[in-house]
Amino acid sequence: MSSSDRTATCARVAVSVVLATVTLGLASCGFKLQGRNRLPEYMSVVHVATEDPHTPFVRALRQSLQTSGVRISDRVQEAGTVVRVLLDESGERVLSVSARNTPEEYEVFYLLEYAVESRGSEVLEPQALRLERDYAYDETAVLAKQREEQQLLEAMARDLASRVMRRLATL
């Protein structure tokens, strides 16, 4: 066996050892891919009860439930579990202003309160969540900053939906 063959063999062995070590490390630390939560069997059909089914949070929660293999029902009677969205609000407030009294920084917030019922009994009492993000404002880029605010709200809604899904998975 030539020295180049031995070098190639050693390189393959080293790569295999590194891959095995990384795989073992990830498996032992509880790592799992994001986006799919194992929910209890009684949550196979869920109804999301809300006043406004078109908010960013409700859309994100429905998407997360479907990704987890849950069927979303429009009727409470069909569902084994009901997620009640008691409060779903978002907004903004000025954090700082310039010497000319124009906004320089905004805070975007998302408030959520939800409860979970299964088979007519309350499984999870009302839970409140709040997220806040701030961003710099530039009056010369109004449309871009409006879009940035919308993206922040959508990202916060996805984050809240992810938190709710993790909580549902522990029930």
Arithmetic mean of pLDDT, 152-159: 94
Question: Tell me: the pLDDT tens digits for 132-147?
Answer: 998 888 777 878 878 8
Q: pLDDT of 19-37, one tens digit each? A: 666 666 655 555 555 555 6
Residues 74 and 127 in one domain: yes
pLDDT at 98: 86
d(C-alpha 29, C-alpha 91), whole Å: 38
Statement to judge: residues 58 and 130 lie in one domain: yes
* Cα–Cα distance, 60 to 158 (Å, whole number): 5
- Domain holding 126, by residue range, is 38-169
- The rounded distance, in Å, linking the Cα atoms of 167 and 170 is 5
91 in the same domain as 15: no
Q: What is d(CA 60, CA 157) in angstroms, rounded to the nearest whole number? A: 7
pTM for this prediction: 0.73
